[in-house]
Amino acid sequence: MNKNNAHFPPPLDADKARSLEAAALIKYLQSRLDGLTFEEADERLAYYGLNTIQEKRTHPLIKFLSYFWGPIAWMIEIAAILSAIVRDIDDLIIILVLLVFNAVVGFWQEYQAGNAIEQLKRNLALKARVRRKGEWIEIEASRLVPGDIVRLRLGDVVPADIALVNGDYLSIDQSALTGESLPVDKRVGDLVYSSSVAKQGEMTGIVTTTGSHTYFGATARLVSTAKTVSHFQKAVLTIGDYLIYISLALVAVLLLVGFERHLPLLKLIQFALILTVASIPVALPAVLSVTMAVGAMTLAKLKAIVSRLESIEEMAGMDILCSDKTGTLTQNRLTLGEPAVFDAADAQSMILTAALASEPDNPDAIDLAIVQGVDDKGLLKRYRQARFIPFDPVKKRSEAHIQDHQGKTFRVSKGAPQVILDLCDLDDTMRARADRAVTEFAMKGYRTLGVARSDQAGGWKFLGLLPLFDPPRDDAADTLEKAMQHGVDIKMVTGDNIAIARQIAGELGLGRNILLADQIMKGKDREDITHEVAKSAERADGFAQVFPEHKYWLVKDLQANNRKYSANPYPTKSSG
């Protein structure tokens, strides 16, 4: 951040952005509803910097030279110098070839991985609709600045942290950040985070923070500080240190004996060379690099990008795997559960009614799940939507006026169960039965929709309840079982509520001992990771209502406990 323009407001944190009304927020950010001017935007861009997460880059030459640095590399280089002194050209060539070969293999693997990651970033480059000097224009998201007025609508990836200031509502998919499998409704005054996705609605907002100051950027900053030495690197360093000490001791003995016997210096250097080369496995780094490079090529065929060769060995040596739920263990696709039928002829007729009350042109995830639940899609063609009233967070239901193939008209509606129950004006017995069904679905972590249809008299009939959930992937349970057979303890991590987490974990055989993330992050000073906190994290089968920052500290907790398995190296989980 450039400090030359100190009159600009500092980046807003999420709590302060939520506490301010729209007008106060615009005033604080020194902006206007008709947007900044181009000159103002350029000044702010120079002050705040690009709306990107800055990475510390190492020059390729420096990176390549780093492969010639380290205990074993030093000993090999000393052996090469000694070979040159005694003019043993054959040994010199062999040593240098092995040294350079090891560096080239490691550097080339990381270079290719870096190129692949950069290509992914280029493909994911975002655009943003921003208001500048009263006109809406499209710019690169990287050029957004705090105070910019931005429009968000269906399909947009949120380009920065944005406070919503105008519009009816916006449905946001935050699964990439929080793991919540269902979209979250946002209204004026709410904050939407960078990298979430707009699934429904359209609203205008003001950019509060950009780049590394966003909620996503703060998490990325945490991860970037997590610099650890891999077990592979530790092992090589230990071997290198041990060999150096042995080699130095032997050379010292050799020199002492040689000086005592008055041997020529050149002869002593030759002996020292022989000892050094014999003491150090010159080919060790090259053999290890080639072995892991072969592994990286195999993983590449499986569409995995290996950014560091050491990560292969590190992954092979893990004993706890913290896995996301949404899209990893589950399909990240809503599916209908078994409906609770009330006044419908059968489950399929109720699903058909719900499908008729869905958006035909731009269906959201819920509408798609319902339409896919209709066994005979041809039935939908026998009806025509004369009018459609979309769902909104105030009424909490959608409604459609339908005309069938015989010309008869009727109305259909779906929405929040309590709203549909009020719409149908049920008696106490039916309402109590419906409330029990909603509670049972909620205990399983399902989202429930009520479905209604008008009768001939124009009144509403309550047809029943539709449960929606994100089902496990077909191969998830088998994959987890194989991982556990290899001694890996699996812990599910999700931003969803604890009921959904327990239901999915139970179905996958992970166990139902699910903790809330806040139960692990107890201390105010989270740098002080206690043994008891780490132990409670280790005993858990999973964690619910997790935010990205929680994931970082959760892994730190588990690593701090320096976990070791008991007599049974193959953990098993109960689904009970």
Token output for 568: 């049974």
Token output for 372: 């896919």
pLDDT for 569 equals 38
Q: Please indicate, yes or no, whether residues 399 and 463 belong to a single structural domain of this protein.
A: yes
pLDDT for 122 equals 55
Give whole-number Cα distances, 32 to 133, 152, 188, in Å. 9, 17, 16
Q: Please indicate, yes or no, whether residues 489 and 343 belong to a single structural domain of this protein.
A: no
Q: What is the mean predicted confidence (pLDDT) over 381-400?
A: 85
CA dihedral 44, 47, 53, 54 (to 10 degrees): 150
Assigned domain for 255 exists: yes
Question: What is the domain count for the chain?
Answer: 4
Give whole-number Cα distances, 302 to 295, 298, 326, in Å. 11, 7, 21
Q: Please indicate, yes or no, whether residues 162 and 277 belong to a single structural domain of this protein.
A: no
pLDDT for 566 equals 36
Residues comprising the chain, all counted:
576
pLDDT in tens, 12-34: 777 778 778 888 888 888 889 88
- pLDDT grade, residue 574 (50/70/90)? very low
Query: Which amino acid, residue 574?
Result: S
Q: Please indicate, yes or no, whether residues 355 and 450 belong to a single structural domain of this protein.
A: yes
Q: Which residue has the higher pLDDT, 111 or 186?
A: 186
pLDDT for 570 equals 38
Q: Print the domain residue range for 274.
A: 60-120+228-298
Q: Please indicate, yes or no, whether residues 30 and 64 belong to a single structural domain of this protein.
A: no
Assigned domain for 549 exists: yes
pLDDT over threshold 90, residue 306:
no
The separation between CA 563 and the C-alpha centre of its own chain, rounded to angstroms, equals 25
- pLDDT grade, residue 420 (50/70/90)? very high
Q: What is the mean predicted confidence (pLDDT) over 171-186?
A: 75
pLDDT for 19 equals 78
The separation between CA 390 and the C-alpha centre of its own chain, rounded to angstroms, equals 31
Arithmetic mean of pLDDT over the chain? 79
Q: Please indicate, yes or no, whether residues 441 and 485 belong to a single structural domain of this protein.
A: no
pLDDT over threshold 70, residue 6:
no
DSSP code, position 158: P
Measured from the Cβ of residue 132, the count of other Cβ atoms closer than 10 Å reads 17
Assigned domain for 571 exists: no
pLDDT for 104 equals 81
Q: Please indicate, yes or no, whether residues 458 and 527 belong to a single structural domain of this protein.
A: no
Report the distance separating Cα 365 and Cα 363, nearest Å: 7
From 38-47, 55-64, 111-120, 565-574, the region with the lowest mean pLDDT: 565-574
From 32-46, 356-370, 376-390, the region with the lowest mean pLDDT: 356-370
pLDDT for 424 equals 92
**Which candidate, 231, 223, 318, 242, places its Cα nearest to that of 280?**
242
| Residue 312 and residue 292 in contact, taking contact as beta carbons nearer than 8 Å | yes
Q: Please indicate, yes or no, whether residues 105 and 189 belong to a single structural domain of this protein.
A: no
Element (H, E) at 41: helix 38-48
Assigned domain for 53 exists: no
Give the SS3 label for residue 275.
helix
Token output for 324: 């996301």
Q: What is the mean predicted confidence (pLDDT) over 359-386?
A: 85
The separation between CA 420 and the C-alpha centre of its own chain, rounded to angstroms, equals 36
pLDDT for 98 equals 76
pLDDT for 470 equals 85
**Which candidate, 151, 142, 108, places its Cα nearest to that of 214?**
142
The percent of residues above 70 in pLDDT, for the chain, comes to: 80
Q: Which residue has the higher pLDDT, 146 or 179?
A: 146
pLDDT for 244 equals 74
Token output for 362: 């731009």
Q: Which residue has the higher pLDDT, 558 or 134?
A: 134
pLDDT for 523 equals 46
DSSP code, position 508: T
pLDDT over threshold 60, residue 196:
yes
pLDDT over threshold 70, residue 521:
no
- pLDDT grade, residue 497 (50/70/90)? confident
Report the distance separating Cα 421 and Cα 140, nearest Å: 47
What CATH number does the domain containing 511 carry?
Answer: 3.40.50.1000
- pLDDT grade, residue 532 (50/70/90)? low
Q: What is the mean predicted confidence (pLDDT) over 294-300?
A: 76
Active site residues: 324
pLDDT for 534 equals 59
Q: What is the mean predicted confidence (pLDDT) over 103-124?
A: 62
Assigned domain for 499 exists: yes
Q: Please indicate, yes or no, whether residues 115 and 240 belong to a single structural domain of this protein.
A: yes
Q: Please indicate, yes or no, whether residues 465 and 491 belong to a single structural domain of this protein.
A: no
Q: Please indicate, yes or no, whether residues 378 and 415 belong to a single structural domain of this protein.
A: yes
pLDDT in tens, 441-454: 888 878 899 999 99
Measured from the Cβ of residue 542, the count of other Cβ atoms closer than 10 Å reads 26
Query: Which amino acid, residue 524?
Result: K
- pLDDT grade, residue 351 (50/70/90)? very high
Give whole-number Cα distances, 224 to 15, 84, 192, 217, in Å. 24, 42, 23, 10
Report the distance separating Cα 375 and Cα 359, nearest Å: 19
Report the distance separating Cα 253 and Cα 268, nearest Å: 11
Assigned domain for 276 exists: yes
Q: What is the mean predicted confidence (pLDDT) over 316-329?
A: 84
HEC letters along 327-361: CCCECCCCEECCCEECCCCCHHHHHHHHHHCCCCC
Give the SS3 label for residue 185.
strand
Give whole-number Cα distances, 226 to 219, 221, 398, 571, in Å. 11, 9, 47, 28
What CATH number does the domain containing 409 carry?
Answer: 3.40.1110.10
Assigned domain for 452 exists: yes
Q: Please indicate, yes or no, whether residues 421 and 383 belong to a single structural domain of this protein.
A: yes
* Strands (E) located in 183-311: 184-186, 191-192, 197-209
- Bridge partners, residue 169, by sequence: none
Which segment, 48-57, 229-238, 421-430, 488-497, is predicted with the most confidence on average?
A: 421-430
Give the SS3 label for residue 457.
coil
pLDDT for 222 equals 62
Output the pTM of the full model. 0.61
- pLDDT grade, residue 4 (50/70/90)? low
| Residue 336 and residue 468 in contact, taking contact as beta carbons nearer than 8 Å | yes
pLDDT for 524 equals 38
pLDDT in tens, 456-490: 888 999 999 999 988 888 889 899 999 888 888 89
Assigned domain for 282 exists: yes
pLDDT over threshold 60, residue 214:
yes
- pLDDT grade, residue 201 (50/70/90)? confident
Q: Which of 469, 499, 530 is the last residue of a domain?
A: 469
The percent of residues above 90 in pLDDT, for the chain, comes to: 17
**Dihedrals φ, ψ of 321, to 5°?**
-120, 120
Report the distance separating Cα 520 and Cα 560, nearest Å: 13
- pLDDT grade, residue 571 (50/70/90)? very low
Task: Decide: residue 474, CB within 10 A, 0-12 exposed, 13-18 middle, 19+ buried.
Answer: exposed
pLDDT for 568 equals 38
Give whole-number Cα distances, 17 to 13, 22, 41, in Å. 6, 9, 20
Residues 6 or more apart from 127 whose CB is under 8 A from it?
138, 139, 140, 141
